[in-house]
Amino acid sequence: MYLRDKNSGDLVEVLDLAAVFDPCRMTVNGRFHAGEELQDPADFEKDNLAFPSGEALPTCWIDPNYRARAS
């Protein structure tokens, strides 16, 4: 899965999909997918990631209390 880093605009290849879907984890492990060389893995804050289209990540992926806030 690829997400876009909001700060740089570069794509991030997500290496741990479970972390993306887990609202209790604030970071995901991935690597920038830019340039010709394979980048080293790093942790990325989910708040700084979006879908490649620019759409924000679903609230249920980033907020562990999303059900309480929806009421």
Domain membership of residue 60 as a residue range? 2-70
CA distances from 52 to 7, 46, 57, 62, 67 (A): 13, 14, 10, 17, 26
Given a contact cutoff of 8 angstroms between Cβ atoms, the answer to whether 69 and 60 are in contact is: no
- Radius of gyration, alpha carbons of the chain: 13
pLDDT at 71 over 60: no
Please write the tens of the pLDDT for every residue from 20-59.
999 999 999 999 988 788 899 999 999 999 999 999 999 9
Say how many domains are in the chain.
1
